[in-house]
Amino acid sequence: MSVILGIDIGGSGIKGAPVDTETGKLVAERYRIPTPEGARPDAVKDVVGELVRHFGHQGPVGVTFPGIVQHGKTLSAANVDQDWIGLDADALFTEATGRDVTLINDADAAGLAEAKFGAGAGVAGVVLTLTFGTGIGSALIHDGVLVPNTELGHLWLKGDREAETWASDRARERDDLNWKQWAKRASTYLQHLELLFSPDLFIIGGGVSKKADKWQPHLKPERTPLVPAALQNEAGIVGAAMMAGQRAQGQDH
Q: What is the mean pLDDT of residues 173-191?
A: 97
d(C-alpha 201, C-alpha 71), whole Å: 28
pLDDT digits (tens, 9 = 90+) for 200-253: 999 999 989 999 999 999 999 999 999 999 998 899 999 999 999 998 887 654
CB-count exposure of residue 48 (10 Å: 0-12, 13-18, 19+):
buried
Beta pairing partners, 7: 16, 63
- The band of 158, judged by pLDDT with boundaries at 50, 70 and 90, is confident
pLDDT for 120 beyond 70: yes
Complete domains list, the chain, with CATH: 3-106+234-252 (3.30.420.40), 119-230 (3.30.420.40)
Contacts of 127 (CB under 8 A, 6+ apart): 111, 114, 115, 120, 140, 141, 142, 199, 200, 201, 203
d(C-alpha 170, C-alpha 132), whole Å: 8
Strands ordered across the beta sheet of 145-147: 145-147, 136-142, 126-132, 201-206, 226-228
Whether residue 94 contacts residue 165, with contact meaning beta carbons closer than 8 Å, is answered with no
d(C-alpha 1, C-alpha 39), whole Å: 34
Write down the pTM of the prediction. Answer: 0.93
SS3 state of residue 41: helix
Question: pLDDT > 90: what percent of the chain?
Answer: 89
Beta pairing partners, 14: 9, 33
pLDDT at 181: 98
d(C-alpha 164, C-alpha 141), whole Å: 20
